Structure 1
Amino acid sequence: MDKKYNWATLGTGVIANELAQTLAVQGRKLYSVANRTYDKGLAFAQKYGIEKVYETLDEVFDDPEVDIIYISTPHNTHIDFLRKALSKGKHVLCEKSITLNSGELAEAVQLAEENHVILAEAMTIFHMPIYRKLSAIADSGKLGELKFIQMNFGSYKDYDMSNRFFSRSLAGGALLDIGVYAISFVRWFMHSKPDQLASQVKLAPSGVDEQAGILLTNEAGEMAAIALSLHAKQPKRGTVAFDKGYIELYDYPRGQKAVITYTEDSSQEVIEAGQTADALAYEVADMEKAVSGEENTMHLDYTQDVMGIMTQLRREWGLIYPEEESQNNVQ
């Protein structure tokens, strides 16, 4: 793959800074920056030596030199930007959660297909080398059959109902912010999408999900239990239990090390692959391979499965965001 693609960032937050730094390590620069506030876009461009800053957001979609747009704005803005970018033939890597619900995602997927472009969610789990290595081990049969997955992800956020984590108007809540990682992890290891769901939820005063316990089962009888919280710290721990051993990963969203414990003799094996610090570099590389037609490992099918689960859970919880109140595509 010889072609160097022109990346534009839509948004100038933490992830956009990471993207710019990732490209800088590779001796590259972002081609352009679009931001709701021009002054912030200009400051971002000056920080990273980016030559092009758009006066308005919409200009990025019309720029013929832009190949790939990385969208890192809040969840509830994604679908509008996806519509514009995909309709103009731009490839898009969109920060998680890629949309609010399955209906929005189905619309985006259709637009990508119609315009022959790559659409993908920036889900680190699908791109960290450790996961491909663990999949190869699991597929070899040495661990036996998958039985149960246990996931924890808890963050302690200040109990401020106006910040984005708890704000209903900013599509806050544990599920879309941290739950998407846990469910993506589950989907990575399960052989098919979970089709049975059970859950309990505690809503914050703002009406978004503050804490939840989720049980998932697929047609093969593989099961998973997920514990999420926005107001109680938990280790980012994933445990994948097979009948001949189990895998443990800590800090799994950008994991680089796992430990396998074998059931028969309790012996352990340490598995390492990749680097946490290079998480965005792996996403960028996979995205460019997909755009070039060399190899598509963006796992949009998994993204759709995960979004389907999250949509069903929120429907059962009665949690609807303002943007969805007038939508007909909440599936």
Structure 2
Amino acid sequence: MTTLNWGIIGLGNIANSFATYFNQPDGRIYGAASRSLDKAQTFADQYNIPHAFGSYAELLADDHIDIVYIATPHNYHFESIIASLEAGKHVFCEKAITMNRRQLNAAKALAAKKNLVLAEAMTIYHMPLFTEIEHQQVAQQLGALKSIQVSFGSYKELDSSNRFFSPALAGGAMLDIGVYALSFARRMMTAKPELIATQWVPSESGVDQQSTLLLNNAHHEMVTVTLNIHAKMPKQGVLVYENGYITVDDYPRPDKATLTFPNGRVTTIAAGDATNAMNYELHDFQEIVRGHQPNDTLELSSDVMDIMSAARAEWGFVYPFEKRSDLN
């Protein structure tokens, strides 16, 4: 089987995790790119990557690279996605995959035109635990999914000079942690959700500090999402079925969940290994590139982006480099 060569664009913390945990027998990290050749070379030396590039354009010009992993801050994702697709590369992009609905629709259209694979690096879509939960829903006769409660709170100092509260760097709770909460909900729902209601509290810098969202879909699966980047909350999702509920802690990379029956009996659902989360998504992406499985997670990402854009449109929150029409 031909080995797939990966190139990394953006060499921050998440790229270090990617290089540390990358373990694909039919794939390898071929090159790493930064706007500084010294930084790229240091990164390449640290992880035994054979090629370092002093610009993103140089990496994209290398015909040996099959897949580009984009690990830049999310306000730079769109330009790197478009450049990578134009260069004929498949694209695996960190979350949030783009800033808004307009950008993602444009990227999807270009990927389709070029017959290339585009997907978001969202571990939630690939963790074996969620498939096992669906199996247990049937095996335990839990009945239909009725509602989902999901929260994510992360305490960040109220400092507009850091990226979490900077409008210029696309700060705010929605694109930083909201994408996880909404992806969890979308992964478990059986039909696309619509935004029913939302409220928010802006920070002094103007980005979203706190918000709640209410979703519903054609199957009457109701969702409440609570977000905050100035208060710690559990990364917890609760799936409520007719005949029991399932609690998933640390849902971005879970390998265990708790099933509670109406009579109070509790059992554990387990599948996969949280420490291998990144490799589940890397494996699946390579299988999509090879044509062995469909690219169905891109539509989940698209549904999530629609919700995030709709919520920001409802709030009237647009970043300085956006237009209100980008959210519609």
Question: Aligned residue for 1:103?
Answer: 102
Question: Aligned residue for 1:4?
Answer: 3
3-state SS, counterpart of residue 4 of structure 2: coil
For residue 321 of structure 2, the aligned residue among 312, 320, 323 is 323
| Alignment partners' CA distance in 2, 1:320 and 1:114 | 29
| Alignment partners' CA distance in 2, 1:94 and 1:25 | 18
Deviation string 1:49-99 (CA, Å, 9 cap, x unpaired) is: 112111221112221100111101111111111111111211111000000
3-state SS, counterpart of residue 197 of structure 1: strand
1:6 and 1:67 in contact (8 A); partners too: yes
Normalized against structure 1, the TM-score is what?
0.95
3-state SS, counterpart of residue 81 of structure 1: helix
Question: Aligned residue for 2:241?
Answer: 242
Task: Read off the aligned partner of 1:293 and give its amino acid letter.
Answer: G
Within-5 A mapping of 1:104-253: 104-139=103-138, 142-253=141-252
Identity over the aligned pairs, expressed in percent?
Answer: 43
Question: Aligned residue for 1:93?
Answer: 92
| Alignment partners' CA distance in 1, 2:60 and 2:26 | 25
Structure 1 segments of 4+ aligned residues over 6 angstroms from their partners: none
Question: Aligned residue for 1:284?
Answer: 282
| Alignment partners' CA distance in 2, 1:324 and 1:269 | 48
Question: Aligned residue for 1:273?
Answer: 271
Question: For structure 1, which runs of at least 5 residues remain unmatched after alignment?
Answer: none
| Alignment partners' CA distance in 2, 1:298 and 1:84 | 23
2:5 and 2:27 in contact (8 A); partners too: no
Question: Aligned residue for 2:312?
Answer: 314
| Alignment partners' CA distance in 1, 2:221 and 2:54 | 51
| Alignment partners' CA distance in 1, 2:158 and 2:44 | 34
1:257 and 1:270 in contact (8 A); partners too: yes
1:210 and 1:229 in contact (8 A); partners too: yes
Deviation string 1:289-311 (CA, Å, 9 cap, x unpaired) is: 00000113551110000000000
2:32 and 2:51 in contact (8 A); partners too: yes
1:290 and 1:298 in contact (8 A); partners too: no
| Alignment partners' CA distance in 1, 2:257 and 2:199 | 30
In the TM superposition, residue 267 of structure 1 has moved relative to its aligned partner by 1.3
For residue 301 of structure 1, the aligned residue among 292, 299, 302 is 299
In the TM superposition, residue 197 of structure 1 has moved relative to its aligned partner by 2.2
1:286 and 1:297 in contact (8 A); partners too: no
Higher mean displacement: 33-42 or 267-276: 33-42
Question: For structure 2, which runs of at least 5 residues remain unmatched after alignment?
Answer: none
In the TM superposition, residue 137 of structure 1 has moved relative to its aligned partner by 2.4
Deviation string 1:255-295 (CA, Å, 9 cap, x unpaired) is: 110011111x2212211111111111111100100000011
How many residues get paired?
328
1:287 and 1:298 in contact (8 A); partners too: no
3-state SS, counterpart of residue 22 of structure 2: helix
1:286 and 1:298 in contact (8 A); partners too: no
Task: Read off the aligned partner of 2:169 and give its amino acid letter.
Answer: L
In the TM superposition, residue 36 of structure 1 has moved relative to its aligned partner by 2.3
In the TM superposition, residue 21 of structure 1 has moved relative to its aligned partner by 1.3
Task: Read off the aligned partner of 1:242 and give its amino acid letter.
Answer: Y
Task: Read off the aligned partner of 2:234 and give its amino acid letter.
Answer: P
Deviation string 1:103-132 (CA, Å, 9 cap, x unpaired) is: 100000011101111100001100111111
1:16 and 1:72 in contact (8 A); partners too: yes
Distance 1:305 1:25, change over 3 A: closer
Distance 1:25 1:284, change over 3 A: closer
3-state SS, counterpart of residue 238 of structure 2: strand
Distance 1:297 1:260, change over 3 A: farther
Q: What's the Cα RMSD here?
A: 1.7
Question: Aligned residue for 1:47?
Answer: 46
3-state SS, counterpart of residue 2 of structure 2: coil
In the TM superposition, residue 200 of structure 1 has moved relative to its aligned partner by 1.1
Distance 1:161 1:27, change over 3 A: same
2:310 and 2:327 in contact (8 A); partners too: no
Deviation string 1:186-235 (CA, Å, 9 cap, x unpaired) is: 11111111124211101011111001111111122110111110010011
